[in-house]
């Protein structure tokens, strides 16, 4: 655990958020196999630390952009889990009225300005939101979270150049889980660390262990404060481990399963719980309560979503143009 490990209330908050994400996604995995949620479903189990630490630090007037693996980011931004679940089920009460789905979650009231199914496709949008904040004289910050697979795309490199050139208050957060879809990073590029890719642009960057939620929180807090004060851009590279395949139902034979003890070392929740108890930041009761409350919330979300009607037939046409 890093020097700036979470303490007291914030450790409980981070744990609760991670537990809510874990419970939501484990339930979604079950629902996917039962064909109750639709489309490609990308699960972030193992990556909850980044969501809790990064999104939990943002305000509703900040702009967060995410990718296809966005459930955790949406939950950590404050999007209601019942409406998220309804969205995954394509229902009228979904955050996007059922028109978006798992890969396109949006909740503008909580600063979630978009998630995209095009890998890295909304990185430049975050620059645009950062530019808007600057031109409006606001201290709001834009953050975009993407996987290491996006780094090899042209729009990533164009965006890094432009963000650097214009000194935009944007924080690029890369979840480097070592896999771009189905193949390891080494099959995509010779540059192992994303922070090395951006080095020539003189971006301030840091690489942290993404399963160390305290380390992510502290590194991000430094960048966030600097961006609010007019600095930027920044790159935070979080080394994570994706326990599941690329999407629910893929073959997952391209990667060897983690040994149980190794997963214990890489699971951000288990790590925080162990350390929290050891250091006295968390009680066993708090840990159990976080788990119980998360499961209860998710069951309520499933019931809410199941009871929600399908969108009305006119929604498709009505929502095509603003």
Q: Which residues bind another protein (CB under 8 A)?
A: 63, 65, 94-100, 104, 106-108, 113-114, 116-118, 121-133, 135-136, 142, 154-155, 158-159, 161-162, 165, 316, 319-322
Q: Which is nearer to another protein, 5 or 106 (CB)?
A: 106
Helix axes 123-135, 154-166, angle to 10 degrees: 20
Q: Which is nearer to another protein, 10 or 157 (CB)?
A: 157
Name the minimum Å distance from CB 211 to another protein. 30
Name the minimum Å distance from CB 186 to another protein. 26
Name the minimum Å distance from CB 192 to another protein. 25
Q: Which is nearer to another protein, 107 or 237 (CB)?
A: 107
Name the minimum Å distance from CB 44 to another protein. 20
Q: Which is nearer to another protein, 124 or 178 (CB)?
A: 124
Q: Which is nearer to another protein, 270 or 319 (CB)?
A: 319
Name the minimum Å distance from CB 28 to another protein. 19
């Amino acid at each position: 655990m890093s020097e700036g490990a979470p303490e007291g209330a914030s450790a409980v908050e981070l744990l609760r958020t991670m537990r809510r994400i874990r419970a939501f996604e484990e339930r979604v995995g079950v629902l996917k196999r039962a064909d109750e949620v639709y489309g490609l479903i990308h699960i972030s189990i193992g990556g909850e630390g980044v969501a809790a630490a990064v999104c939990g630090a943002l305000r509703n007037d900040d702009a967060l952009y995410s990718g296809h693996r966005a459930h955790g980011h949406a939950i950590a931004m404050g999007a209601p889990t019942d409406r998220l679940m309804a969205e995954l089920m394509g229902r009228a009460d979904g955050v996007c009225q059922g028109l978006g789905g798992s890969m396109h979650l949006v909740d503008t009231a909580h600063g979630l300005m978009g998630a995209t199914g095009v890998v890295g496709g909304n990185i430049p949008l975050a620059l645009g939101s950062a530019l808007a904040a600057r031109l409006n004289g606001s201290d709001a910050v834009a953050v975009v979270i993407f996987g290491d697979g996006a780094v090899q795309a042209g729009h990533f490199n164009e965006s890094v150049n432009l963000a650097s050139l214009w000194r935009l208050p944007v924080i690029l957060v890369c979840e480097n889980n070592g896999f771009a879809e189905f193949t390891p990073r080494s099959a995509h590029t010779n540059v192992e660390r994303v922070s090395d890719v951006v080095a020539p642009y003189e971006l301030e960057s840091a690489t942290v262990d993404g399963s160390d939620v305290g380390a992510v929180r502290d590194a991000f807090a430094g960048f966030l404060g600097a961006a609010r004060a007019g600095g930027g851009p920044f790159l935070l590279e979080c080394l994570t481990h994706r326990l599941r395949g690329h999407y629910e139902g893929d073959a997952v034979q391209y990667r060897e399963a983690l040994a149980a003890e190794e997963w214990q070392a890489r699971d951000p929740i288990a790590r925080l719980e162990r350390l929290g108890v050891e250091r006295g930041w968390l009680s066993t009761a708090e840990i159990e309560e976080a788990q119980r409350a998360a499961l209860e919330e998710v069951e309520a979300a499933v019931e809410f979503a199941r009871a929600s009607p399908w969108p009305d037939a006119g929604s498709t046409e009505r929502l095509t143009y603003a």
